[in-house]
């Protein structure tokens, strides 16, 4: 299984926000919103708080081809 953040990127579009807006609102670094990077739960909590959403609204588990 892999983690996908496509839901986060769609939510930002829906809220008319850019990644830099999310960084400022959540108080996180640019590395924290880089694609395909590991993100700790503290950062995920800050993102959810800033966007007023649940963890399932920004990420999901997806099966990998070799599983």
pTM: 0.85
Query: Running DSSP on this structure, what letter comes out for residue 21?
Result: H
Count Cα atoms within 13 angstroms, Cβ side, for 51. 29
Which pLDDT score is estimated for 34?
76
Task: Please give the Cα distance from 11 to 7 (Å, whole number).
Answer: 6
Q: What are 7-56's pLDDT values in tens digits? A: 999 999 999 999 999 999 999 998 888 765 678 999 999 999 999 999 99
């Amino acid at each position: 299984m892999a983690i996908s953040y496509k839901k986060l990127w769609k939510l930002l579009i829906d809220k008319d926000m850019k990644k830099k807006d999310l960084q400022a609102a959540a108080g996180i670094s640019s590395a924290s919103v880089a694609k395909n990077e590991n993100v700790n739960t503290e950062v995920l909590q800050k993102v959810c708080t800033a966007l007023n959403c649940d963890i399932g609204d920004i990420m999901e588990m997806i099966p990998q081809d070799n599983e």
